[in-house]
Chain A
Amino acid sequence: MDKNITKSELLPGTLDMLILRTLRRGPLHGYGIAQHIQQVSDDVLQVEEGSLYPALQRMQLQGWIASEWGETANNRRARFYRLTPAGRKQLEREVAGFDRILAAIARVMGTA
C-alpha cells in the first residue's frame, strides 16, 4: 500500500490529463482506463472509482471526451470513451502545463 499514491496525492488536475492521455491510444471503457493507468505506472498510480467516474462525467460535460456503447474483447457490453478534437487540444494544453511545472520542480530540486 505504501507505494500506492492515492488520488489526493496526485498533483491537482493530473487525473484528467492521465485519462486524456490514455484515451489518445483509442476508445476504452472506465475499468480499462483505470487498469491502464495502474499498469503503465507500475502500480504507482491507482485510480479510484470514486474519482474516475465523476471525472469522466465532468469531461463529457466539458466536451473533451464522448462515450458510446460497444463490446469488449470477451463480448460484454461496456461504455467506451473516446477523445474528441476538443479533448485532444485540452490534452496538449495540460501536457504543456505539466511539463512546465515538472521543469520548474526539477530546477528547484537541482539547485537545492
Chain B
Amino acid sequence: MMQLRRRLRFLFRRAEFERALDEEMRFHLDMRTQENMEAGLPPEEARWAALRRFGNVMLLKEVMREMWGLRWLETLWQDLRYGLRMLRRSPAFTAVAVLSLALGIGANTAIFSIMDALLMRMLPVKNPEELVCLRTSVSFPAYKKLRDRNQSFSGLAVIRFMETSITVNGEAEPAYGQMVTGNYYATLGVNAVLGRALSPEDDQVPGVGGPQGPVAVISYDYWKRRFALDPSVVGKAVTINGVPVKIVGVTPPEFFGAMGGTDKPVDITVPIMLQPRVYPVGTTALWLNGQQGSELEYDGSDEYGWRPMIARLKPGVTMAQAQAELNVLFQQVLAERAGSAMDERRQRENAERKLELTPAGKGLFAMVPERPTALLLLAVMAAPGLVLLIACANVANLLLARAAARQKEVAVRLAIGAGRSRLIRQFLTESVLLALMGGAIGVALASWGRNLLLAWISNSEFLFLRAETDTRALVFTAAATMAAGIMFGLAPAFRAAKANLATMLKDVGVSARAGRRRWEPGKVLVVAQVALSLPLLIGAGLLARSIQNMRSFDTGFNRENLLLFTTEFLGSNKPRSGALIKEIGERMVGIPGARAVGLSHPPGMVGWMKVSVEGAAPLPEGEMFASRFLAGPGYLEAVGIPLLAGRDLSTRDNENAPKVCVVSAALAGKFFPNTNPIGRRLTFPRPGADYQAEIVGVVKDVRPWRGAEAKFSRTAYCPILQDLPASYLTLEVRAAGNLAPIIPEVRRRFQDIDRNLLLDVKTWDALTDGMQFDRIWLSRLASGLGMLALLLACVGLYGLMAYSVARRTNEIGIRMALGAERGDVIRMVLRETLWLVLIGIAVGLAASQALTKIISSMLFGVKTTDLATLSVATALLLGVALFAGYLPARRASRLDPIVALRHE
C-alpha cells in the first residue's frame, strides 16, 4: 500500500523526479572528475574517465523510472490520450456510436423496467411462487368447507375489492379498499410494519368482526399520503363507507395488495365479515349464508360479486395435485347442497363445474399469458430485444466500417515496430472508451426514459405501474451493448494481426475500391435494422388506426355534450333505497345549461344474460340472450335514443308498480319478427325469483360499446327503481352548450343531498377510452419502440454512409475533376442509400405480415394488410432514412476536388 502511494506520488511529480535525478548524477560526475583531477589527470580526461565509469546515463535513468513508475498505468494513459484524439478526429463517428450505445442501453432498460412491472414482477411476499389463485367465486359456507377440509394449502383466503369513501377527521375522500378473510395476511406471509395485521380473530361475526370490533389495516402508501407517517395512527378511528372502524396496523411499503403490478393499490383492508355494513351490495347476504338453494350454481362468477381466492400451496405440493384434490372436495361440497331446490339441469351443470387454479405469484390480476395474449406479450417482450439488437448492430457496423478505414494505419504501426498485443490494447482502449461514454449517457437515459414512458402509458384509472429502473436489466443491457462494442472494436486489431503487412501497405487503392463490395457486413446490418424497425412502425400504426376507429365508431347517438356523473352509494347516511334515487332525480331537475337529465346504472354495467320470451318465435337456446340494462326516467331522452313505439320509462315505474321494460328494435326484431312486442313479457332467470317484465315500448338500436358485435344491441331497459337495492347510480346530463359550468352545479346538488356521496365525472368518450386502454398503451409502447428503432436505424445508416463517403473521398474527387456535378454526387450516394433501404423495407414488410398477425385480435376496423398504414409507415421510414443518407451525400458534394484528390 505504502509503495503504491509512493508510486502514485511519483506519477504526479515526474518532472521533479527527473530534475533531481539529473542533478544528483551531475553532482556525482563532478565529484568523480575532481577526484580524478586530484589523482593527476588533466581536466578533460578526468571528465571522460568519470563518464566512462558512470556508464550509460540514459539507460540508468530508464531503469529507475521503470522501477518507480506504474508502467501499465502510463501506457494506459497514453492509449487513452491517443484514443480520445482518434475519437475527436471523427466526431460524427463518435457521436453516432455513443448515441447508439446510449439509446440501446437507456431505452432498453427503461422499456424492460416497464415490462417487468407489467408482466414479470413477483408479489413482495415470502415465497410468492407458492401462491395460487382460484378464480371461481363460491359462497362463504362453501369456502369454509374448502378451507377446512383441504390438505394442499397452508392457507386459503377470500378477497373482495371495493371502492370506498373514507372519512378521517370529518373529511370524506375516495380510497381503494378490500375486504379479506382473517387469514389473508398469514396466507400471504405479510406482517405489519406498525401495529399488527388482521387475524382470523378479527373476522368472526358478520357486521361486527372480532373482539376488538370493526378494525382495519392501511397500506404504507396511504399512511404516508393521508397521515404523514404519524405513528399514532394505530388506534385511530376512521369511517369507511359510513362505518366506524379502528386502524390497527400498517402494511410494508412494498406491499400494495395481492392483485399484482398493474392494478390499483389497495389503501385500506377490513375483515370480510364487515361486508353487510361496509359494502352491502345485493348479493352480500346471499354470499354470506349461501342460502336460497342458489349456492354454487352455474354462472358462479357473477353470482356473489367477484371474490377471488388466493391460496398458498404447502411445500412440496404441486398445483396439479392441489387442483385434483380441490375438485374432488368441490364436488363433495356441491353434492351436500344438491337435492334441495336444484333441478336436474343445474345438477348436471354442477357436475361439470371445476375449480381452476392459476399461479398467483405475480398477483391475482397479473396478466396470465393465455391464448393469443401470450403471443402478443411475447411480441411486446421481444420488441426491446429487437431494439437492443439494432443498437448492437449499429455499433458493430460503425466499428467495422472504421476498421476497414484504419487498415493502413494499423499496417504502418505494425511496420514501425508496434507489438501486436500493444496494438490490440490500443484498440481495446478506444472501444472501452466509447462504451463507457455511451454507457454513462445510457444510464442517465434509463431512468429519465422510464419516467417518460411511465407517464405516457400508465393511467391512474386503468393501469397502475410502479416501475423502478431494474438494475439487472441495466447491467445486462449495458454489458450486452458494450460487449458488442468491444468485440467489434477489436476486429481491426485482429484482422491486422492476421494480415499480410506488405499487401496492406501497398493497398493504396483501397479508398478507390471501397464501397464497391456488394455485401459487406455493414450493409447487411443496416438492411437488418431497417427491416426490424418497419414491423414496429406498422404495428403502432395499425393500433393507432384501431383506436381512431373506435373513437369515431357510430354508436347511434350523439356523444358530444354528454356528461356522466357516477356515484357509488358508499358512506351515504341515507338508506340505500329507492328514496335516495328518487331524491336525486327530483333535485337534478332544472340544471342551468342542461337540455335533458337522465338516471341509470353506470353505462358499463350491462349484463348479457339468458332470457325467455313469452310468445316468441322459436329460436335455438344459444340465441336466447339479451342485454339487460337498468335505466331510470329520462335516460333514453338524455342519451338520445328515440322511441319508436309505445311509451318511455317514467317516474311512475317505481318499486310498487308492475315491472315493465323498454326494448331495442333489435330485440323486438329478433324475438317478435312478425308480432307487436308491446304487452309481451320477458323473463330473466335469476336465483330466488326470476325477473319478469312487460314490454311497454320499443326504441332505436344503439351500440354504446364500440366494436361490440351487433347482437349486443339487443337490449332491454328496465327501471332502476324496480330492481333494488342499487349500489351505483349514473346521472346523464345532456348539455345545451358549454359543459364546464354544469359540473360544479351538479356537484353542489349532490353535496346538498348527502356530502358522503363521491362523484366521478366523465364524458362518454373518456369512459370508452378506458375500455380500450390495453390497445392504447400497447399502441403507445409500440410507437415509442418503433420511433426508437427508426432513430437507431437512421443513426446506423448515417454512420455507414458517412464512412462510405469519407473512404471514397478520392474517388469522388476524381469524379468531380472529370466533370461530375454536385447533383450527380448527391444522387450517387443517395442511390446507394436507397438500395439498402428498399431491400430493408422489402424484408420488413414480409416480416411485419407475420408479426402483425399476433396483434390482429386487438385491431378494430383495420386489417393487418391495411394499405394506408403500410404506406404511411413505409413512407416515413423511407423519408427519414433518405434524410440520414442525404447529410453525407451533401458533404460529399461539397468536396473540393483538389483537396479530395490530395486526400491520403
Given contacts A49-B53, A50-B55, contact A76 B30 (CB under 8 A): yes
Contact A61 B67, beta carbon cutoff 8 Å: yes
Q: How far is the CA of A58 from the CA of B60 in the complex (A)?
A: 13
Q: How far is the CA of A76 from the CA of B24 in the complex (A)?
A: 11
Q: How far is the CB of B20 from the nearest CB of chain A, in Å?
A: 7
A residues in contact with B868, CB < 8 Å: none
- Of all A-B residue pairs in the complex, the 8 with the closest CB atoms, nearest first, are A31-B31, A50-B55, A31-B28, A57-B64, A49-B54, A79-B24, A78-B27, A54-B63
Given contacts A61-B6, A79-B20, contact A54 B64 (CB under 8 A): yes
B residues in contact with A76, CB < 8 Å: 27, 30
Contact A77 B3, beta carbon cutoff 8 Å: no
Contact A49 B27, beta carbon cutoff 8 Å: no
Contact B27 A53, beta carbon cutoff 8 Å: no
A residues in contact with B53, CB < 8 Å: 48-49
Nearest B-chain residue to A60, judged by Cβ? B6
Nearest A-chain residue to B56, judged by Cβ? A50
A residues in contact with B23, CB < 8 Å: 77, 79
Contact A30 B54, beta carbon cutoff 8 Å: no
Query: Is A62 in contact with chain B by the CB < 8 A criterion?
Result: yes
Query: Is A63 in contact with chain B by the CB < 8 A criterion?
Result: yes
Query: What are 27 A-B contacts defined by CB distance under 8 Å?
Result: A29-B24, A29-B27, A30-B24, A30-B27, A30-B28, A31-B28, A31-B31, A48-B53, A48-B55, A49-B53, A49-B54, A50-B55, A53-B24, A53-B60, A53-B64, A54-B60, A57-B67, A57-B68, A60-B6, A61-B67, A63-B3, A69-B20, A78-B24, A78-B27, A79-B20, A79-B23, A79-B27
Q: How far is the CB of B444 from the nearest CB of chain A, in Å?
A: 42
Query: Is B610 in contact with chain A by the CB < 8 A criterion?
Result: no
What 0/1 readout, one digit per residue, does chain B (19-41) give for beta carbons within 8 Å of chain A?
01001110110111000000000
Given contacts A49-B53, A61-B67, A78-B27, contact A31 B60 (CB under 8 A): no
Question: A50-B54, A54-B60 provided; 19 other pairs, C-beta below 8 A?
Answer: A31-B27, A48-B53, A48-B55, A49-B28, A49-B54, A53-B24, A53-B25, A54-B63, A54-B64, A57-B67, A58-B67, A60-B6, A61-B6, A61-B7, A61-B67, A63-B2, A63-B3, A63-B6, A79-B24
Given contacts A49-B60, A54-B60, contact A77 B67 (CB under 8 A): no
B residues in contact with A58, CB < 8 Å: 67
B residues in contact with A78, CB < 8 Å: 24, 27
B residues in contact with A50, CB < 8 Å: 54-56, 60
Contact B20 A54, beta carbon cutoff 8 Å: no
Q: How far is the CA of A63 from the CA of B2 in the complex (A)?
A: 8
Q: How far is the CB of A111 from the nearest CB of chain B, in Å?
A: 41
Nearest A-chain residue to B20, judged by Cβ? A79
A residues in contact with B64, CB < 8 Å: 53-54, 57
Contact A31 B32, beta carbon cutoff 8 Å: yes
Q: How far is the CA of A102 from the CA of B67 in the complex (A)?
A: 31
Q: How far is the CA of A40 from the CA of B794 in the complex (A)?
A: 81
Q: How far is the CA of A31 from the CA of B23 in the complex (A)?
A: 12
What 0/1 readout, one digit per residue, does chain A (13-49) give for beta carbons within 8 Å of chain B?
0000000000000000111000000000000000011
Q: How far is the CB of B48 from the nearest CB of chain A, in Å?
A: 15
Q: How far is the CB of B423 from the nearest CB of chain A, in Å?
A: 31
SS class of chain B's interface: helix, strand, loop or mixed? helix
Contact B3 A62, beta carbon cutoff 8 Å: yes
Q: How far is the CA of A57 from the CA of B28 in the complex (A)?
A: 15
Q: How far is the CB of A103 from the nearest CB of chain B, in Å?
A: 33
Contacts of A56-83 to chain B: CB distance below 8 A:
57-58, 60-63, 69, 76-79
Q: How far is the CB of A68 from the nearest CB of chain B, in Å?
A: 11
Q: How far is the CA of A105 from the CA of B7 in the complex (A)?
A: 39
B residues in contact with A62, CB < 8 Å: 3
Contacts of B596-625 to chain A: CB distance below 8 A:
none
B residues in contact with A31, CB < 8 Å: 27-28, 31-32
A residues in contact with B7, CB < 8 Å: 61
Nearest B-chain residue to A48, judged by Cβ? B55
Q: How far is the CA of A79 from the CA of B26 in the complex (A)?
A: 11
Q: How far is the CB of B53 from the nearest CB of chain A, in Å?
A: 7
Q: How far is the CA of A49 from the CA of B56 in the complex (A)?
A: 10
Q: How far is the CB of B54 from the nearest CB of chain A, in Å?
A: 5
Contact A49 B55, beta carbon cutoff 8 Å: yes
B residues in contact with A61, CB < 8 Å: 3, 6-7, 67-68
A residues in contact with B31, CB < 8 Å: 31
A residues in contact with B25, CB < 8 Å: 53
Q: How far is the CA of A62 from the CA of B20 in the complex (A)?
A: 19
Q: How far is the CB of A6 from the nearest CB of chain B, in Å?
A: 12
Q: How far is the CA of A60 from the CA of B63 in the complex (A)?
A: 15
B residues in contact with A54, CB < 8 Å: 60, 63-64, 67
Q: How far is the CA of A11 from the CA of B471 in the complex (A)?
A: 59
A residues in contact with B2, CB < 8 Å: 63
Nearest B-chain residue to A78, judged by Cβ? B27
What 0/1 readout, one digit per residue, does chain B (44-86) give for beta carbons within 8 Å of chain A?
0000000001111000100110011000000000000000000
B residues in contact with A30, CB < 8 Å: 24, 27-28
Q: How far is the CA of A101 from the CA of B7 in the complex (A)?
A: 34
B residues in contact with A60, CB < 8 Å: 6
Q: How far is the CA of A69 from the CA of B19 in the complex (A)?
A: 12
A residues in contact with B24, CB < 8 Å: 29-30, 53, 78-79
Q: How far is the CA of A25 from the CA of B28 in the complex (A)?
A: 20
Q: How far is the CA of A71 from the CA of B591 in the complex (A)?
A: 106
B residues in contact with A53, CB < 8 Å: 24-25, 60, 64
Q: How far is the CA of A28 from the CA of B60 in the complex (A)?
A: 21
A residues in contact with B28, CB < 8 Å: 30-31, 49
A residues in contact with B63, CB < 8 Å: 54
Contacts of B571-591 to chain A: CB distance below 8 A:
none
Q: How far is the CB of B16 from the nearest CB of chain A, in Å?
A: 11
Given contacts A54-B60, A58-B67, contact A77 B6 (CB under 8 A): no
Q: How far is the CB of A90 from the nearest CB of chain B, in Å?
A: 14
Q: How far is the CA of A109 from the CA of B500 in the complex (A)?
A: 63
Q: How far is the CB of A65 from the nearest CB of chain B, in Å?
A: 12
Nearest A-chain residue to B21, judged by Cβ? A53
What 0/1 readout, one digit per residue, does chain B (629-648) give for beta carbons within 8 Å of chain A?
00000000000000000000
* Residue among A48, A57, A63, A77 making CB contact with B27, cutoff 8 Å: A77
A residues in contact with B3, CB < 8 Å: 61-63
B residues in contact with A69, CB < 8 Å: 20
Residue of B3, B20, B27, B53 most packed against chain A (CB within 10 A): B27
Q: How far is the CA of A69 from the CA of B24 in the complex (A)?
A: 10
Q: How far is the CA of A62 from the CA of B2 in the complex (A)?
A: 8
Q: How far is the CA of A58 from the CA of B66 in the complex (A)?
A: 11
A residues in contact with B30, CB < 8 Å: 76
Nearest B-chain residue to A63, judged by Cβ? B2
Q: How far is the CB of B60 from the nearest CB of chain A, in Å?
A: 6
Q: How far is the CB of B479 from the nearest CB of chain A, in Å?
A: 38
Q: How far is the CB of B624 from the nearest CB of chain A, in Å?
A: 98
Q: How far is the CA of A29 from the CA of B64 in the complex (A)?
A: 17
Q: How far is the CA of A29 from the CA of B6 in the complex (A)?
A: 21
A residues in contact with B68, CB < 8 Å: 57, 61
Q: How far is the CA of A55 from the CA of B94 in the complex (A)?
A: 47
Q: How far is the CA of A23 from the CA of B404 in the complex (A)?
A: 61
Q: How far is the CA of A104 from the CA of B402 in the complex (A)?
A: 67
A residues in contact with B6, CB < 8 Å: 60-61, 63
Residue of A49, A76, A79 most packed against chain B (CB within 10 A): A49
B residues in contact with A79, CB < 8 Å: 20, 23-24, 27
Q: How far is the CB of A49 from the nearest CB of chain B, in Å?
A: 5
Q: How far is the CB of B868 from the nearest CB of chain A, in Å?
A: 77
Q: How far is the CB of A35 from the nearest CB of chain B, in Å?
A: 8
Q: How far is the CA of A30 from the CA of B20 in the complex (A)?
A: 13
B residues in contact with A63, CB < 8 Å: 2-3, 6
Q: How far is the CB of A81 from the nearest CB of chain B, in Å?
A: 10
Q: How far is the CB of B30 from the nearest CB of chain A, in Å?
A: 7
B residues in contact with A48, CB < 8 Å: 53, 55
Contacts of B244-285 to chain A: CB distance below 8 A:
none
Q: How far is the CA of A47 from the CA of B499 in the complex (A)?
A: 50
Nearest B-chain residue to A58, judged by Cβ? B67
